[in-house]
Amino acid sequence: MYTKQKATVSIIIPYYNSMEFIGDCLNSVLSQTYMNLEIIIINDGSDAENTGYIETLQDDKRIVYLKNESKQGVAYSRNKGLSSATGEFVFFLDSEDILAEEAIEILLAHIEEAPAIAGRTKRLLRPTDLEVPQPLEVIVTPKPSQKIFHSGSILNVLIRSSFIKEHMVRFYEGTEGATDISGIIPFLLYVKSLPYLNIRTYFQRVRNDPISNPSLVQRSIQERTRDFIKVYMEMNQQYGTSQPVKEYLDGLLLRFYRRQVINIFKDQKHLDEFFNLLSSAMKILNPASIASQPSHIKREVNQLRAGNKNKFIKGYRFHVEARDFKNAIKGFTRLKRYIYNKFFLRFPMKDNYIIFESFLGKNYSDSPRNIYEYIIENNLDYKCIWVFNDKHRQIPGNAKIVKRFSLAYYYYFAVSKYWINNMRQPLHLVKREGNVFLETWHGTPLKKLVFDMKDVYSANPRYKRDFYMQSRAWDYLLSPNRYSSEIFRSAFKFDNEMLEFGYPRNDILYSPQKEEIVARVKKNIGIPDNKKVVLYAPTWRDDDFYEPGKYKFQLQLDLHKMKETLGDDYVVALRMHYFIADDINVEGLDGFAFNLSKYDDIAELYLISDILITDYSSVFFDYANLKRPILFFTYDLDKYRDQLRGFYLDFENEGPGPLLRTSDAVIDAIANIDEINEQYSDRYAAFYERFCSWHDGKSTEKVVKRVLLGEDPSFQKQSENYGG
Ligand code: C2G
């Protein structure tokens, strides 16, 4: 044991432009409990802006920094690392991944005389994955080499340098991807089994942004297939006579074919290239290896082996159709989608149909509502369809109401020319040629969005990829102010037409009938005329959820104390974000606290309220149109700003009201609201100018004229002057 503790472990980290990850990666290495390390970083010709940081790290004497003048690939870099490694052990780490604190110590402690030892790997989708509990007891079991390396990766294996030298472990440099396989082959040739630990030693990041910065495995399936087949052919030629290697390579090929490649053929244009490529690989496959495959795979592989393209593609198509149908009849949800894809999408499109949705079918609200009401008030000749979760919803006009995800919903999405939505559409809806998609979005961003976010803490770790695919369908995007236009371009990578007319949803805040609306709404809710209204409308927390779209919320505002102190003059309207699933308890607060979380349109609540309390929600950008006081109840500011989201705006210094940390401070501010108004009046005016000045009560009209009536976009430019 003692001698092992003295051994040096060389950790080899190839690095290419993954600046946003390497800090965490290196921290996990530098803070290893086992300290006798040689940390070899090979910068594979990263851009200058991605290089500087690495060069500042060389203060730690354990770091060896190597650099390729231009990008040479991960195999070349690892080989370079191997040539300069001096440790008795070698461990490969990718620059976006993270080692458990005791990884090297534990692996080393259990390697005994084996040439290598492997630990368990956990996929790292979001930062909280690092916190998974470890087993209490370390268990080491022997595992066949084929199984240790079944995914084709050499990561998370501590390898004895003498083995590397003796068997000349090196990586194949002829491709960008699938290069680990060549490094794995010596294990298949010379070692039957390796010790395997039940402890998670390695966290393998699934990059959350496959669009701006894809990892090797996130490249297109075409690129990956070309690489894989090349490596397969090359390795077969060199080592194909060894039975374990052949078995391993054939296993990889068949798995790759079944799981990934098969989808390539859905697109006719790839047929020739990939049929020939796969055919050449399948021809050298050992026929015995397909014995255990399902019959359709056997058939396809045999046709690939025989080079019979027509038969192959016929069989493939038949199989895909049969599979889709078999899937479709497993349940009504799938059947509806099947009918949508196979039939509805082939129906003719109706040029005067518009389908509307707001907040995922929860409300009749927001800009889609204003656009719809403009259409009915002006008798424009459109058939309107509204999507709701509740199919019995009643709304003005004679719109067709469809329940979200019903058969009718799919029918109308398939045939309606216009789609108007304030959120993202489901990924499985297909935008057809001729469809016009008006994305209204739902707020000026304070908290960082999509591609401007580093880590993704929310329930859907594929947020960035999904968002990118969804937003490609948007023809028009509404913007409420210049600041938002700029952010939407960067955060959404949106490059279609931005409609800079202000938000239709805010027209009501400039309505000449404001007073009547206020009287009607207050009466409907049951708020006495003599009471002022404080509206509390906070946002949601990315890391606090039950499941996607269902978030938790704990009320931190002391309503009982508020009632005691302010109850003579005020009532409180509580409005939770539409993602919040928790119910707010207003027991014992009758006549003082009104839970309006389910109220359709928050704009009407803005109108009836005298003061707004929020936190990081975009509601204050809209509310500021009313020029009424705003308080920020930011009890978790540090966490929200520094960890969960980060802000675009220095709202501590530029926000139109004070940031308050405690419920008492909020109550105090309400009691002294006149002073706050005075204190913040200059800031408020500047804020209004920057964020609200495009609004003039006519945003809806401008949007309709541009999108539905096709008015000249030069009219758009004028809007920049509206309202100052
Ligand atoms: N909203 C609401 N009630 C709340 C919070 C929000 O009705 N308590 C509505 C408002 O119309 C608000 C919109 O939902 O403008 C968006 O809410 P945010 O809290 O800003 O959060 P999010 O849905 O994440 O959208 O660009 C803006 C961002 O996309 C934020």
Distance 497 CA to ligand 1 centre (A): 23
**Ligand 1 pocket member 602 (CB < 6 A):** yes
Among 618, 647, 651, 692, which residue has the most ligand 1 atoms within 8 Å of its CB, making it the best to mutate?
Answer: 618
- Higher-pLDDT residue of 237, 722: 237
Give the residue, 52 or 239, on which the prediction is more confident: 239
pLDDT level of residue 459 (50, 70, 90 thresholds): low
Q: Which atom of ligand 1 is nearest to the CA of 616?
A: 19
Angle made by CA atoms 201, 205, 211, in degrees to the nearest 5: 170
- Mean pLDDT within 308-322: 90
Q: Which of 2-11, 39-48, 672-681 has the lowest mean pLDDT?
A: 2-11
pLDDT of res. 269: 83
Give 200 or 585, the one with higher predicted confidence.
200
Q: Look at residue 714 in the predicted model and tell me its pLDDT.
A: 57
Tokens read off for 636 = 């978790």
Is the pLDDT score of 4 beyond 60? no
The confidence score (pLDDT) of residue 523 equals 96
pLDDT of residue 118: 98
576 lines ligand 1 (CB under 6 A): yes
C-alpha–C-alpha distance, residues 539 and 79, integer Å: 50
CA dist list (Å): 612 to 536, 542, 563, 603: 6, 23, 17, 12
pLDDT tens digits, 175-218: 999 999 999 999 999 999 999 999 999 999 988 777 777 777 78
Q: What's the pLDDT at 216? A: 79
Closest residue by Cα to atom 26, ligand 1, is 445
Residue 1: the pLDDT is 39
Q: What are the C-alpha distances in Å from 114 to residues 93, 117, 190, 239, 400?
A: 20, 7, 12, 23, 71
Output the CA angle 457-459-465, nearest 5 degrees: 80
Q: Would the CB of 368 count as within 6 Å of ligand 1?
A: no
Between 129-143, 188-202, 473-487, 704-718, the lowest mean confidence (pLDDT) is in 704-718
By the 10 Å C-beta count (0-12 exposed, 13-18 middle, 19+ buried), 311 is classed as middle
pLDDT confidence of residue 265: 82
Question: Token pair of 327, please?
Answer: 């899937």
Q: Over range 88-103, report the average pLDDT.
A: 96
Which among 366, 442, 632 is the best mutation to test ligand 1's pocket, defined by most ligand atoms within 8 Å of the CB?
Answer: 442
% pLDDT > 70, the chain: 96
Report pLDDT for 435.
Answer: 97
Average pLDDT over every residue of 376-396? 97
Going across the sheet that includes 400-403, the strands are 400-403, 383-388, 350-357, 416-421, 436-439, 476-478, 497-499
Comparing 22 with 118, the larger pLDDT belongs to 118
Neighbours of 650 (CB within 10 A): 8
Residue corresponding to tokens 């009915």: 376
Would you say residue 21 has pLDDT above 90? no
CA of 535 to the centre of ligand 1 (A): 14
Assess whether the C-beta atom of 443 lies below 6 angstroms from ligand 1.
Answer: yes
- Ligand 1, atom 6: closest residue by C-alpha: 577
Q: What is the pLDDT of residues 682-710, one digit of tens each?
A: 999 999 999 999 999 999 999 999 999 98
